[in-house]
Amino acid sequence: MNPDRILILHDGYYDTQLEDLIDNRTEVKTLAETLANLGCLVDQMAFDPHEAHALADRIKSWQPALIFNLVETIDGSGQLAHLACSFLQLLGIPYTGSDAWSMQTTVNKLVTKRILAGARLPTPAWLEPDGEGEFNPGLRYLIKPVFEDGSVAIDRNSLVWCTDAAQLQEKIKARSAETGYLCFAEQFIDGREFNVSLLGETGEPVVLPLAEMEFLGFSESGMATVLNYDAKWTEGSFEYEHIQRTFQPRPGDGTLRDELVRIAKSCWKLFGLRGYARVDFRVDDTGQPAVIEINTNPCLEPDNGISAAASQVGIDFSALISRIAAEAGVSLQQQSYGNKLSVYQDTTANWQDQLTSRLTNPTDLVPCPGQENVQALAEACAVAAVYPMAVTPYYANLAQPDNPSCPIRRQYVPDPAELEHAQDEVDDPLEEERYSPVPGLIHRYPDRVLLQVSLECAVYCRHCSRKRKVGRSSERMTMTTIYQGIAYIRAHPEVRDVLLSGGDPLMLSDDRLAQILTEIRTISHVEVIRIGTRMPVVLPQRITPELVKILQSAKPLWLNTQFNHPREFTFASESALARLADAGIPLGNQTVLLKGINDSPVVMRSLLHHLVKNRVRPYYLYHCDFVRGVGHFRTTIRAGLRLMQQFQGHTSGFAVPSYIIDLPHGGGKVALLASHLALNPENGRIEVENFEGTCYVLDLDR
């Protein structure tokens, strides 16, 4: 199992307008964001018992340390929700909440009531569809579904008065037919309503502050105090607006509250509950409580039930999620990277704070086993003195701190190999300076230019092709320099495509970026603007709604990013991509082929599939440039071509990128094809031609 991977298993998503089912999606989103903020790698999967084998394979392949079970319904009904627990028990992976027996028992209100009655715990009298049960003449009954929670199918017509059991039985049948749910009738207690939330601990559970539902103005309006569907889900309804939760006890409630706690704890033990749960009560006018429902899978959202109760005793939502995970045997605190990353939770929602909190010195990093010695640290510091280091807390937290070969760690930790330079490696192999008519602008191809608007990045990648410039205090792009570049573009009508690059253009403030985009958009012959950025990968918090609006205003605008490993896909990064894609911004990815990081067919295929799933076109797979300081990342061309061969017939054509090499001496980009291997040259060399018709000889084994 991977100790930092958490899976959220949730309801299957299908077309629905029911707010209670839509709410499950919100619950998943909120939980995923919270887990991501805690430093976890989060994935989400829908539970479909008809696809159990395929789902099991996916889960085993991902190897999560813990599964948050949020499955409440299957095919829109709660009757079989316990199958998710059974499935997880068979997988043998720790999961949150109660087990299959507890859920199957409590989701069936009739079985629950029989067990409560058998244990002499109070519950209102009831009548079953077949006539079994107890009918008390002169009292009202609430007709409700046997298997559903969330007040589903409970409305103002659910409360009935009947003269005899036969009449009530007929109303139960009619209500079942009307709603489509199997129903029963429960004696209505016209009194107070309480929710008692419990958190699992070793021994007996912790009872959180009791919540009472107050029905404001109901008696004046002649309405029964029923917590129906509208009360929970229909904004603007009388019930929604006039029922409020309070944790403030009334004077003289001490004995009642003690009894509610006693009964709730007894229910926890009787039904074998674990993790977290909620017991709901009605209390009559004599102060006698009765259990009306036991919820083994209550909603996990910051302002709802158990979360609201926990907040009353200083347990915020993140801490609550951590406690629930700990009860399932997984400590989320172990996910934090260490040292400066104690600020992670405070900075994750604010991209500027993430930048301020970047780790910029090897001494900030937790050493890997075998790298604790002074010499290793001194070597890393020596590298950082030549090629600056910086990494956001977010991105550092994706790494395995105890693994020196971690594919994330290797992309940002200085390596002594960076100071070892091969003879054919140079600072500027693309000869960008030669094609720079004005500072910060590169005009290598006839109809397009690259405009550098920043020489800073959120993370300084160790494989960067501009290591000679990026991150150095002596190198800065001023607005004066940028406007020189824009003036050049304006004076060259052959330029139809402008690529904003750097560094990372999204290091600029929103105002400055908007200013640059607006200025370029005034140039009539510029058809397309592109932006190259790693922000969705290393600092997804930068992709704010405000930024997306700015990018939208500059359409047609394309954004290319650089995911190099499937581990870089988290809930945060996928949410950032979704914001961009939903705004109609075309997305592409330019992966760099890196030895020991993504040169495996399995890893690369997974990366490509993650991209496509997130509406990102796998655009380029770059052969690592012949830049000084990156030789230890470079595969041979032959290895790259063999990797490309692995995709033929094994994935969708649109998921396969072009394998690109930047030719030496500024020759430009050319695509390398798997068919080049079929040439089988005796000397191990192939000849390629660039866009200008110039021929270049490439060594397949370099």
**Active site residues per annotation:** 444-445, 448, 457, 461, 464, 466, 625, 662, 669
Distances (CA, A) of 512 to 483, 519, 546: 12, 11, 13
| DSSP run (H or E) holding 497 | strand 497-501
Q: What does residue 277 show for φ and ψ, rounded to 5 degrees?
A: -165, 175
DSSP 43: E
C-alpha of 611 from chain center? 15
User: What whole-number distance in Å separates Cα of residue 431 and Cα of residue 393?
Assistant: 34
User: What whole-number distance in Å separates Cα of residue 537 and Cα of residue 482?
Assistant: 26
Contact 67, 95 (CB under 8 A): yes
Distances (CA, A) of 411 to 390, 428, 526, 560: 11, 20, 35, 19
User: What whole-number distance in Å separates Cα of residue 677 and Cα of residue 684?
Assistant: 9
Contact 87, 80 (CB under 8 A): no
Contact 309, 208 (CB under 8 A): yes
Strand (E) positions, 181-258?
183-187, 192-199, 206-207, 211-215, 243-246
Closest of 279, 308, 275, 314 to residue 295, by C-alpha? 279
Strand 448-452 relative to strand 497-501, pairing: parallel
Q: Give the angle subtended at the CA of 84 by the CAs of 80 and 90, to the nearest 5°.
A: 125
Strand 497-501 relative to strand 695-699, pairing: unpaired
**Number of C-beta neighbours around residue 682 at 10 A:** 5
What is the three-class DSSP state of 196? strand
- The length of the chain is 702
What is the three-class DSSP state of 507? helix
Packed helices 109-118 and 254-270: angle between N→C axes, nearest 10 degrees: 110
What is the three-class DSSP state of 511? helix
**Number of C-beta neighbours around residue 132 at 10 A:** 12
Strand-pair partners of 196 = 279
Q: Give the angle subtended at the CA of 298 by the CAs of 293 and 302, to the nearest 5°.
A: 135
What is the three-class DSSP state of 290? strand
Quickly tell me which residue has 């959180």 as its tokens.
208
User: What whole-number distance in Å separates Cα of residue 254 and Cα of residue 259?
Assistant: 9
Contact 106, 271 (CB under 8 A): yes
Closest of 614, 604, 662 to residue 428, by C-alpha? 662
Structure token digits, residue 557: 């605008």
Closest of 400, 404, 387, 396 to residue 340, by C-alpha? 396
Direct distance between the N- and C-terminal alpha carbons of the chain, in angstroms, rounded to an integer: 37
Cβ neighbors of 565 (< 8 A, separation 6 or more) are: 407, 408, 597, 598, 603, 607
Structure token digits, residue 287: 């102060």
Q: Give the angle subtended at the CA of 116 by the CAs of 113 and 117, to the nearest 5°.
A: 85
Structure token digits, residue 249: 């006890």
User: What whole-number distance in Å separates Cα of residue 247 and Cα of residue 535?
Assistant: 43
